[in-house]
Every structure is written in structure tokens, then in C-alpha cells.
Structure 1
Amino acid sequence: MITISGLTKVYESRGRQVTALDGVDLHVREGEVFGVIGQSGAGKSSLIRCVNLLERPTSGTVVVDGVDLTALAGKGRRAGKDLRRARSSIGMVFQHFNLLSSRTVQDNIELPLEILGVSGAERSRRALELLDLVGLADKAKAYPGQLSGGQKQRVGIARALAGEPKVLLSDEATSALDPETTRSILQLLRDLNRQLGLTVLLITHEMDVVKTICDSAALMEKGRVVETGTVGELLATPGSRLATELFPVGGAATGPDRTVIDVTFHGETATQPVISQLSRTYNIDISILGAAMDTVGGRQIGRMRIELPGRYEENVVPVGFLREQGLQIEIVEPQDEARGAAEGEQAEARDARQDESQIDKQDAAPAATAPALVKDGAR
């Protein structure tokens, strides 16, 4: 549905060039929810704005539903008729809602249809239908200022669907919401994906978003895609950074003659007592150093770090047994354990410094501000 090839975006800033996207290649299949994750500055926002050409790429191509949007861009700043027509199949949901405060909820949803020249009666019918779809049928005459953040985002989603798009772009749509509201909006996006057959491309910096609704994901760093695939494939890929972030497990070997293994469970294996079977079959004591289990895309998936007595050469058969059960196995090298332990110590030291700094600030605060500090802490 979406194919991005060699996409580059370079901005001019104070006489120098800043590369936001550096040769990005990405493919989003029809009907899937695809998440692009990365830290601030990774290029996520530039990428999603280039998909509908709100930002014009410096080079590369963007093909949506078989149409090369970059070929329709032209040389002027304003979008031509052909590009506007192609954009009508792409809806976009923004982080900060972008609703017009002077218009009612219904009028906000009707706005894109008004621009497209749709008749008043049809605009009204479509807006009310969409409000019912997003669970706000009773808010048609309300104004944005009368709505909660989650309700505003539902209006934003309804407005994005007004033109009956095939693709929905979500630009950090949940990052301004509280956790409970975030879950409800994510569930709504998943429901719309299934009910309407929408292809959803979302960007986020939150791993829980990917874990909750994404079929596939890509990790971006410094304007490049460094890892991509279905969530299942990523979890099954040894050394996958996304898998490690989605299901972090830790723990170092308790001695030099130990084998530490990361085991990934998915599908039927997630509910089978494989570890206890291994222990009974080979009469070995197994230590569980860490574990994480969750539901991803409606399937239970988890990772576990276990320790077996003896070196790897002595555990080839037990490891083979685990692989025969359909589990993904990754041997944790000693240097990885040392690195993990060092990172843990650094994190603890950093947290301790932050705690000390906070205490110093509170101690240094004037007495008159003490009630405010207590009130903030309670809140």
C-alpha cells in the first residue's frame, strides 16, 4: 500500500544543511498497522509528513496505493489538482488535534468535505455517521473547548476519515494523552483498521504503542531505518534491538561455568510448560534470570532469560530440545552480560545523582514555597 524508496529530506538551517531523512526504504502492506519508532530527532515526523507530501522530499519516491505522489508534486509550493486528488485517499491524525475552536464538532468533521465541494446534506450525513463510529454521537453540537483530550482526538480521527481514505497516518496521536485514554484511542485505531480495512502508519516514541496494536514496525535513528519487519519476525531475530526494547529481560550468569540463554515464546509455545519439560527430561536445574510476557497483535508473546549449569558445549542437547519445540533461542555471550551489568550500574548511579540533585533543590527552596512543593507532590 505504501512503498518508500531512497527517501531523503534535507533542510536549510542558518546557512547549513540538516539531513532529516537519509535514504529511507520502507514498505507497508495493505491492511496492516505499521509503527515507526524512534527517539526525538530520529526523523519520524519528517518521514510521515513526506508520505502525504506535506513536506516535499529532497529526493526519492513515495508510492501510495499505486500512485507515485512525488511525481505529482510539481515544482511550486502549492499542491496541484492531481496531488490534492491523490491526497484524498490519505487521512492524517495529529498529535495536538488541530481542531478549529470556533466550529462545532460536527463542523470540524465536515471541513475537509466542504473543501472537496461535497453537498451540505451529504456532509452532515457523513459527519454524524463518523461521530457514531468513534463513539461521540452525542457531541455533534459541542465545541472543542468542551471536550476532554481523548474526545478531541476521537474528533480528529473522525475528521481524518471524512474523505473515506484507504490510508491513515498517525503523528504521535497518543503522546499528549494519559495512559488510560491512550489505550482507548489505540483500541479505536485497531478497530477501525479491522472494520474499514484501513492501512495505518503511525509514528511513536512509545514501545507500548507498538506492542499494543502494530503488526509490523521499524526502528529509526538519525534519519535512517536501522531495523524493520513484522513484530513476530523481529522477536524471532537474534540480536534484534526492537525485540529487546519490546520485551526487555536481564540477568547475568551466576558463575563462570554457566550457559545463559534468551528464549522467545510465541504462538502455541507461549502456553506450553516447555521449561519444566526441559528440566524433567534432562534432570537439570534451571534458573530463570528474567522474563517478560504480553499480548501483541492478539497473540501471546514473551521472552525469558534462563541459566543452565555448565558451559555451552555441555548444553548442546538441551538447547536443541528447546529449538525442536519451536522456540527462538539466542545464546547470551559473556561480554553481553558484562555490558548489561555495566549499563545497569550506570543507570543506578545516574538515578542516584538525580535523586540527590532533587533533594538538594528541595532543601534549597525558600520556606515560602514548601506548601507548593507538598501540593505538587500530592498531585
Structure 2
Amino acid sequence: MPAPPCAARSKVTDIPVITTQDLTKVYRSRDGRETTALDGVGLHVREGEVYGVLGRSGAGKSTLIRCVNLLERPTSGTVTVDGRDLTALAGRGPRAGAELRRARTRIGMVFQHFNLLSSRTVRANVELPLEILGLTRRERERKALELLDLVGLADKARSYPAQLSGGQKQRVGIARALAGDPKVLLSDEATSALDPGTTRSVLQLLRDLNRQLGLTILLITHEMEVVKAVCDSAALMREGRITESGTVPELLATPGSELARELFPVAGQASGENRTVVDVTFHGETATEPVISRLARTYNVDIAVLGAAMDTVAGRQVGRMRIELPGPFEENVVPIGYLREQGLGIEIVRAPGAPEAEGTSGTAAGLLVRGGAR
């Protein structure tokens, strides 16, 4: 069995455990029409991290995660998991060959709707993959009980799925996914059918397993709260493509990041025509420093706070604030420079008199100039 629980955070290395290159999946209907679900997706998940893929329904998230373990065969591109090119093992037929099946035992999968067998007890559900692996009855029973204890359900071994809550069913699903001692755990919207309180407990379990077992976890979700709670890195998908990706701290520090705006939405309109509005991202040590009050004292400037949001992300305190400075942009160059020098992420939302920055795409309404932490 894996190592016992510990309080230490799982070490994230630079070793890629899941890599997709130019991954494409095209579905063809009987009348010849084609639908592109994945369009050249490149994904790099490092050893020991929890990686979240976000996107709305139809973005391609579920297709991506099913292509990672080749439950869906990609139309083109490659999938490498734990150093093995799974696409090279797939063969040409519709059924998985012996090599691919062996490689899949190192990949656990947790499903949205649990997929438990109602006629089997909780323990027997966990034992199912162990039967397929050929373990003896005694070995299956011992390991299943250890896994149920790991997910906090040791007392439910003789129960049936109908006797469990949604959260308990998902814990059984997680225990079953761990039966093959996987290196990688895939989670397909594992919390979307659960209430908020149960969602938090299941996410905490996933983070605990990441820490205790050194699991690399790839999860897909449409909920930003999932990223806040457990993810080290994240990617945003739209129309079959990854439009933005990186570690959560990097994304929060990137001016114009759509993920940062979604994670920490701030609102507020300028109080007058001649005002400069700035979005400020706090992370690391800056999250607890009185930077804004120092700015007001140092430059004798009146600062209005139009909106703010702060939370703990992956164990770090992070926040965003929308502030208003009096006067046009040229009168606020020095105060804005001061904020950048403090290591804050800066995004100019409204700046009368400012020249449009090179390469600015205008992803936020009224965005004129972008700046980043130095």
C-alpha cells in the first residue's frame, strides 16, 4: 500500500507526467458531417501537481480527459503518460491491446456519476478492478479495506451504494480508482453532482491523496471554486483549444488573464470622466502588506476602492482589487510604477489620456494599457 498520511505538501517537480502534443479529435456523423472536439491541444502536467482544466459545456474538456487514457482514440497527435506513448500502444483495432491495458492500470479514473454497481457491496465495488488484475480473494479483501480506510469509509464496507450519500459514493469511486496503485488520477467533473459542503470535503480528500500518495491529478471542471481549492496549475479551454494555461500564481500575476478575472472577479465603474481605474493583483507576501495605504501616504493621493476579492488558493493568500486614482493616466504614471515595484500585478482598466499599448487586444472592456509585476 502507499505511504501513510503526512502533513507535507506533495512535491511538484518539473518532470512531465502527462503530455499531449497536437491532440485532435474529430467526430464524424453518418451523413458525413464533422465536429472537431479537440483542435491541436498541447497539455503538460508535472509530477505531483493537481492540474485543473476549466471550460464551459462543449469546450472539449471531457473529450480531452478521455483521450488521456485512450477511452477515446485521438484522430491525430500523441498522448504520453508516465513516460509511455499511449497512442503508440493503441494499435489499429477498436479494442485495447494487452500493452495498453497494462499501461492503463497506472491511470485511475473518477467519474461524475460514480458508476458503482448497485448489486455489489462497497467493498466488492472497490475489489472489481483487483479481480481484473488477478489478485486472490484474500489480497482483494485486504487491499479494498485499506483503500476504504484511506477515503474514510472503513465502516461502510458491507453497505450497498443505495445506502450511501452522494459524497460517500464518490469516495467509493475514488477508492476504486486507487486500486491499481496509479501514478495518475483523472477526475471527470467528480464534484459537479454534489452539494457545496460535500464538494469541499471531496476536494480536500483529493488534495490529501495528492500529498499522501504523491499522486499527479488531472481534473476537469466548470467550477472556479475547484481551482481555488486544490489546483497548482490550470488551463482554460474554448472550442476544443487551450487558450490559457500556467501555474495558478503565474496566471494571477498575468495582466489580462481571463482565468484570473474569473477566479477573482472585481467590478466597479469610474466615478467620473477624469479618473484612472486600475486592477491590482496581490499574491505571495504582498497579499498581507498595506501597499495601498502606503501609496496614498507616499504620494498624497486619494484612492477609492471600487471592488475587492481575496481568498486562499493552493495554500497561498491571493486577492484582486479595483482602485480608482484621480486624474488622467499621465498624472498617475509614478503611483502606478510604485505598485509595480512592490511586486503587484497591474492591469489598467480605464486610463483617459493613455496611448494604446502595443499588442493590446482589448479583452476587457475599456482596457488600454497592460502592465505586469516586475
TM-score by length of 1: 0.88
Question: Are 2:290 and 1:280 equivalent residues in the alignment?
Answer: no
Instruction: Find 1:88's aligned residue among 100, 105, 119.
Output: 105
Question: Are 2:74 and 1:57 equivalent residues in the alignment?
Answer: yes
The corresponding residue for 2:14 is none
The corresponding residue for 1:266 is 283
Measure the CA separation in 2 of the matches of 1:289 and 1:133.
46
Q: Is the 8 A contact 2:23 2:41 kept in 1?
A: yes
Instruction: Find 1:135's aligned residue among 152, 156, 171.
Output: 152
Question: Are 2:23 and 1:7 equivalent residues in the alignment?
Answer: yes
> What code does the residue aligned with 1:89 have?
R
C-alpha displacement of 1:209: 0.6
The 1:261–1:337 alpha-carbon spacing in structure 2 relative to 1, beyond 3 Å, is farther
Larger helix proportion of the pair: 1
> Secondary structure at 1:97's aligned position in 2?
coil
The corresponding residue for 2:356 is none
The corresponding residue for 1:185 is 202
The corresponding residue for 2:338 is 321
Q: Is the 8 A contact 2:48 2:215 kept in 1?
A: yes
C-alpha displacement of 1:339: 3.7
Measure the CA separation in 1 of the matches of 2:341 and 2:243.
30
> Secondary structure at 1:332's aligned position in 2?
strand
> What root-mean-square deviation, in Å, do the aligned CA atoms of Structure 1 and Structure 2 show?
1.3
**Within-5 A mapping of 1:139-178:** 139-178=156-195
Q: Show CA shifts across 1:265-324 (max 9, x none).
A: 011111111111111111111000110100000000000000011111111111111112
Q: Is the 8 A contact 2:276 2:351 kept in 1?
A: no
Q: Is the 8 A contact 1:253 1:337 kept in 2?
A: no
Measure the CA separation in 2 of the matches of 1:77 and 1:334.
58
**% same residue:** 79
Measure the CA separation in 1 of the matches of 2:211 and 2:230.
11
C-alpha displacement of 1:14: 3.9
> What code does the residue aligned with 1:84 have?
R
Q: Is the 8 A contact 2:275 2:350 kept in 1?
A: no
| 5+ long unaligned stretches in structure 2 | 1-16, 353-361, 367-374
| 5+ long unaligned stretches in structure 1 | 341-379
**More off after superposition, 51-60 vs 6-15:** 6-15
Higher-Rg member (1/2): 1
**More off after superposition, 10-19 vs 257-266:** 10-19
> Secondary structure at 2:280's aligned position in 1?
strand
The corresponding residue for 2:219 is 202
Q: Which runs of 4+ in 1 moved over 6 A?
A: 335-338
The corresponding residue for 1:300 is 317
Measure the CA separation in 1 of the matches of 2:364 and 2:139.
65
Instruction: Find 1:121's aligned residue among 138, 146, 154.
Output: 138
The 1:298–1:157 alpha-carbon spacing in structure 2 relative to 1, beyond 3 Å, is same
Measure the CA separation in 2 of the matches of 1:332 and 1:30.
37
Q: Is the 8 A contact 2:280 2:345 kept in 1?
A: yes
C-alpha displacement of 1:337: 11
Q: Is the 8 A contact 1:251 1:337 kept in 2?
A: no
Q: Is the 8 A contact 1:252 1:337 kept in 2?
A: no
Measure the CA separation in 1 of the matches of 2:88 and 2:286.
47
Q: Show CA shifts across 1:338-368 (max 9, x none).
A: 948xxxxxxxxxxxxxxxxxxxxxxxxxxxx
Q: Is the 8 A contact 1:42 1:220 kept in 2?
A: yes
Measure the CA separation in 1 of the matches of 2:301 and 2:210.
47
> Secondary structure at 1:302's aligned position in 2?
strand
The 1:130–1:337 alpha-carbon spacing in structure 2 relative to 1, beyond 3 Å, is closer
Question: Are 2:75 and 1:66 equivalent residues in the alignment?
Answer: no
Question: Are 2:313 and 1:289 equivalent residues in the alignment?
Answer: no
> What code does the residue aligned with 1:239 have?
G
Q: Show CA shifts across 1:233-264 (max 9, x none).
A: 11111111111100001112111221111100
Q: Show CA shifts across 1:63-102 (max 9, x none).
A: 0000000000001111101000100100000000000000
Measure the CA separation in 2 of the matches of 1:14 and 1:303.
49
> Secondary structure at 1:251's aligned position in 2?
coil
Measure the CA separation in 1 of the matches of 2:289 and 2:162.
51
The corresponding residue for 2:60 is 43
The 1:43–1:290 alpha-carbon spacing in structure 2 relative to 1, beyond 3 Å, is same
The corresponding residue for 2:10 is none
The corresponding residue for 1:347 is none
Measure the CA separation in 1 of the matches of 2:363 and 2:104.
49
Measure the CA separation in 2 of the matches of 1:242 and 1:279.
29
**Within-5 A mapping of 1:237-252:** 237-252=254-269
Measure the CA separation in 2 of the matches of 1:168 and 1:113.
17
Instruction: Find 1:18's aligned residue among 18, 30, 35.
Output: 35
Question: Are 2:126 and 1:109 equivalent residues in the alignment?
Answer: yes
> Secondary structure at 2:174's aligned position in 1?
helix
TM-score by length of 2: 0.89
Measure the CA separation in 1 of the matches of 2:284 and 2:241.
31
